[in-house]
A and B are shown apart, each in its own frame.
Chain A
Amino acid sequence: MDGVQLQETENGKGALITVSGRLTVRFADQFSPKFRDLEARDGPLQVDISDADRIDTVGAWVLYRLRSVRQEAGKETEIVGASDDMEQLIQQIGDAKLDTRMRPEKRGGPLGLLERFGGHIVEGTLQLGAFLAFLGVTMMALGRTVLHPRRLRGAAIFRQAETVGVEALGIIGLMSFLVGIVIAQQGAVQLRQFGAEVFVINLVGRITFRELGVLMTAIMVAGRSGSAFAAQLGSMKLAEEIDAMRTIGMPPIEVLVLPRLLAAVLAMPLLAFYGSIMAIGGGTLVSWLQLGIPPATFISRLQEVVPITDVWVGLIKAPVFGLIIAVAGCFQGLQVEGNAEEVGRRTTAAVVQAIFLVIVLDAFFAVFFSMLGWL
């Protein structure tokens, strides 16, 4: 490598360093430490740069640093052989140097840990408040649209309902069908020990309509659409599209959030019912192939053992889950601030929050319906 050579001679007054080679950014790691050593050295010093092939701003900076550090320490230092332009560059670079912190301040140690912990708690509390506020604002906007139905954006709702509902049919159908197969198959293995295989129909029928159909669907919708809502609104927020809407006089809640929310609320019961039916289909298939129960028998038996309230339980829960998923997604999307990483973080938060809330609400519903006597 034709890097940088420093040659030292004595010239009566003190040390003379002759620099040759290229004082450029490429070789900075090589020559910067050598110049640091020179900075620390005692006695007068002359640096001759007339032999240097090329000096860029990094070279100029290192020369400036050498001179200024040494002169501050009262050591005689001279840089010779510099053209006027070079001398000007050295001065320009030196003047430009900012006296500044490079990184945002961060507290380390146990105190820093405590600070971060406290920060998380404050952040969490504020987020909870903001979430409730957002829910309230959304409900008020919903109320206004109910009073003035002309403000409802029908086209947007249907477009969203298509992506949330119709486009999810394939994956939700397949998933529910497989879950139905698994429940029937596992149930049959256990119930056979009691000679009660026929109760597989009760198991599949009740668990899918009441719980699994709607729960699995909600999780899939949260993963497919809740995340999409957060990412869409988050990117729009970053690109100031949301601000643009506000200035034009389009309230973002009404334009962006309500269509998504209504689409999710509409699509969820339909998807949940469809998912339950597909799961029943899976159960029917296993019962037929493994237990020899013909599909016709399965269906008629299903009508006897599954109370209609089970269907209602599923259908009442579904729109509420849809609402929660949409609100969590839109809320997190609109919380995005600053940078691209935030979009990812908020998207993850939207899905986690939605699934968590769905399961918490499901537990509440279970208690509620049992108090109603819908066992």
Chain B
Amino acid sequence: MTDGNDQSARPVAINGRKGEAVIEVKNLVNRFGDQTVHEDLDLTVKRGEIIGVVGGSGTGKTVLMRSILSLQHFASGEISIFGKPVTGLAEGEELEVRRQFGVLFQNGALFSTLTVAENVQVPLREFFHMQQDLMDEIAAYKLGLTGLGPEAAPKYPSELSGGMRKRAALARALALDPRLLFLDEPTAGLDPVGAAAFDNLILDLKESLGLTVFLITHDLDTLYAICDRVAVLADKKVLAAAPIKELLEIDHPWIQEYFHGPRGRAALAGADANQQMA
């Protein structure tokens, strides 16, 4: 074929333009009793980026994610995904939106009575009619993508180690080829080698599938390695959402401590060293 190099005719893995907003959070307020977690919080996540969300314990990172996923009722504010508000959707519409994102929960949240392979097939089975052999093949490559070995597929979640459970949960989150991926501390509890592999995997997936990733993490190495922008949660709002180099300049005690503390400096040194090698 001579026109094989024609850019416009090429199939792409994902539709849509880069830079358009995928998640928009406006004036979000979250309260538990008298305690206010979020006060007028704003955040925009753009298509095709990996946004890291950081903040001290109890600053409401997970609450923010649960609000976006409409797993949690929020006091006031507006949240929209793919331009559609998450509240007040008709059931069919809500499913349509939900089908477009995958979620990796902090502890995996695999269904304990199903095998790992069946866990990955659950969303496929729920949304589509599909032949069993195709579903088996899909589960087999999804599990392989996340770096699991062949011995894991027929096992039950309780027979897996913590790291393997996370990978299996990621495979389930990826089952429907979502355009948007939510990850809650994906590398927590993984060994450094495994964590680095996980980072690479997410970067790979983002590049080959055009994913948008909402990533909650405490892992400074992850922030440096794969995040396009980092949103800092403090004082009940998003203090700043910017590429990490710009964040380093911001004069806020928590940000300074976080990125310029001993761990922050070590991660920065590591990231610089990696860049020089590359």
Contact = CB atoms under 8 A, between A and B. Distances in A.
Contacts of B1: 48, 50, 80-81
Interface residues of B, number: 51
Contact of A54 (B14, B156, B159): B14
B230 to A, nearest CB: 26
A49 B11 contact: yes
Contact of B112 (A89, A95, A341): A341
A193 interface: no
Interface in B1-18: 1, 3-4, 6, 9-15
A104 B209 CA distance: 31
Given A32-B131, A98-B148, A50 B4 contact: yes
B140 A104 contact: no
A96 interface: yes
Interface string A66-106: 00000000000000111101101100111111111111110
Contact of B13 (A25, A56, A101): A56
A51 interface: yes
A95 B144 CA distance: 8
Contact of B154 (A28, A86, A103, A341): A103
A55 interface: yes
Contacts of B152: 100
Given A28-B128, A32-B131, A339-B158, A65 B11 contact: no
A334 to B, nearest CB: 16
B158 A58 contact: no
A52 B208 CA distance: 16
A338 interface: yes
10 contacts: A55-B13, A80-B1, A81-B1, A83-B10, A85-B13, A92-B145, A96-B145, A98-B153, A100-B143, A339-B156
Given A57-B174, A102-B140, 5 more contacts: A29-B128, A56-B177, A83-B10, A102-B153, A103-B117
Interface of A: 23-26, 28-29, 32-33, 48-58, 61, 65, 80-83, 85-86, 88-89, 92-105, 337-341
